[in-house]
Structure 1
């Protein structure tokens, strides 16, 4: 089925949605990771924020993430209907009219940015607005259907949340928050390319130029290894800027070795085009990996572990 015909049929949907459908628009699994990394940015930032203001900041970030997810589903409804992984989303399934999703997303986006500015601070508000706009306009509308670099560049949107948490406390953007940004930015390509490897047929059917579709699986496996090798030293940077201590250094190094091991296994399997076990293993591990990296930063930030300052890293 052509993308254009799918879009036409979706425009004629008229149904009554329930609460679960609107919750699905928020992409709750993605939101949970966004909220967690934001929480870490908020806790490791220097200074003090009233607990209620911190909670408001997290609510605003959750609303902004939900807005980005809803607007992404609105624009991508036609290709979502062609992909097995996304065919049951509310618009392709016919549970919410596309126009309602657009209005819902815009309302959440405007509300979250305004509330962040008025109740927290305008630096965090601007960062939240940039994050939503980047995900919707740069990734979803511009890059996703045009370039195999969609994940590399577009992944910046998912890297902003800890910076927003940091800015909520400090009212500024420091080198430390940029380091947190870089960790997620470098993590995103191997994470999503692992998914794209075993979902390549889905992306090809929908005409989305993901790396495996454009350059093939062998090249994608190679790129996963390259970005994994870049990711691991990036995760050590918090020690270089005085944001983490020795426990973090040890744990992140061990986790990094395992990440490279999973990526290397993918590369070794490059000739086994139909075997996706190594890609699925890396995808699953990459989620645990990022969670543990940021969990260690959170634990050290809460417990007051003595932080390192290692400019040689």
Structure 2
């Protein structure tokens, strides 16, 4: 291990840093937060946007670093994680903890500079992810339910950063991303079931790739679509969505639902993978549509 650590190159260190903080996941979380900010802000302050992006990345990076320290022995058992910096011996636990702690302190500080409410929700997301969700992953399928709470915070965090308070509007953004996570993570859990089983993780609601799990994926996909369209009714305060944008999101939802139904029929890894990517496409385009809808209405 020491030999590997000694011979690490700057390129490897950069790669390991990206891996320990899960850069791609962190960037997607930052994207959600910034989208929420644009929805909540009357006037866009790009300094706040920058602080939100930096703080959001640091908070997600901290959560992921803590997670990889806790799960280092389990990561070594799974093909998808055995080459992560800690189980592969390229990074020590001490170094990972320093990154995690430093990111937590600086991240909370940056978000606090925006406003205290934003910092509070950022800190809550780390605590829930690290202290509650992570330990439950090897004990019960309910871990996905618990993990959906910190996972749903980023979209509404941006609105809170823009307004300094929590209300029905960020609550709706929270619910959209909350329900979306179930078909997303259950599809991922189905696709990588064998690998998760090697690590002792319980990711599917029934614990198996069966009809019961497939039915729940379909139901939560439907709930995701319904919650996503509630702003069209005008019942969510200043968070409003025009009918045209509502139709676009409904069509995106039907695409995701199509793969959920196919998974029920086929119950294979290929379809689960397709559903997982369809869910990523759904939430990304939904956030873009929500933001464009607001600014187009403003310009018109």
Fold shared by both chains (TM-score > 0.5): yes
Cα distance, 1:211 vs. partner?
A: 1.5
Structure 1 unaligned blocks of 5 or more: 1-9, 308-313
**Distance in 1 of aligned mates of 2:17 and 2:156:** 27
**Distance in 1 of aligned mates of 2:108 and 2:41:** 23
Structure 1 match to 2:248: 251
**Distance in 2 of aligned mates of 1:217 and 1:94:** 37
Residues 252-267 of structure 1 mapped to structure 2, 5 A cutoff: 252-267=249-264
Q: Quote the RMSD (CA, aligned, Å).
A: 2.0
Q: Does 1:15 align with 2:8?
A: no
Structure 2 unaligned blocks of 5 or more: none
Q: Does 1:70 align with 2:60?
A: no
Q: Does 1:139 align with 2:146?
A: no
Q: Cα distance 1:305–1:281, how it changes in 2: closer, same or farther (>3 A)?
A: farther
Question: Does structure 1 conserve the Cα–Cα contact (< 8 Å) formed by 2:182 and 2:220?
Answer: yes
Residue 179 (structure 2) aligned to one of 172, 181, 186 = 186
- SS at the partner of 1:92? coil
- TM-score, length-normalised on structure 2? 0.91
Residues 110-149 of structure 1 mapped to structure 2, 5 A cutoff: 110-117=105-112, 119-141=113-135, 143-149=136-142
Q: Does 1:209 align with 2:209?
A: no
Q: Deviations over 1:234-257 (max 9, x none)?
A: 111222324221232111111111
The number of aligned residues is 291
Question: Does structure 1 conserve the Cα–Cα contact (< 8 Å) formed by 2:30 and 2:53?
Answer: yes
Residue 87 (structure 1) aligned to one of 82, 88, 91 = 82
Q: Does 1:38 align with 2:33?
A: yes
Q: Deviations over 1:291-313 (max 9, x none)?
A: 11111011122323599xxxxxx
Question: Does structure 2 conserve the Cα–Cα contact (< 8 Å) formed by 1:14 and 1:97?
Answer: no
Comparing 243-252 and 296-305, the one that deviates more: 296-305
Q: Deviations over 1:110-131 (max 9, x none)?
A: 11102221x2111111111111
- TM-score, length-normalised on structure 1? 0.87
- SS at the partner of 1:91? coil
- SS at the partner of 2:182? helix
Question: Does structure 2 conserve the Cα–Cα contact (< 8 Å) formed by 1:200 and 1:213?
Answer: no
Q: Deviations over 1:186-230 (max 9, x none)?
A: 111111111111211111111112227824433221221121121
**Distance in 2 of aligned mates of 1:297 and 1:212:** 31
Q: Deviations over 1:102-155 (max 9, x none)?
A: 1210110111102221x21111111111111111111112x2111112112212
Q: Does 1:52 align with 2:47?
A: yes
Q: Deviations over 1:23-66 (max 9, x none)?
A: 21111121121011101110010433521122112211111111
Q: Cα distance 1:248–1:306, how it changes in 2: closer, same or farther (>3 A)?
A: farther
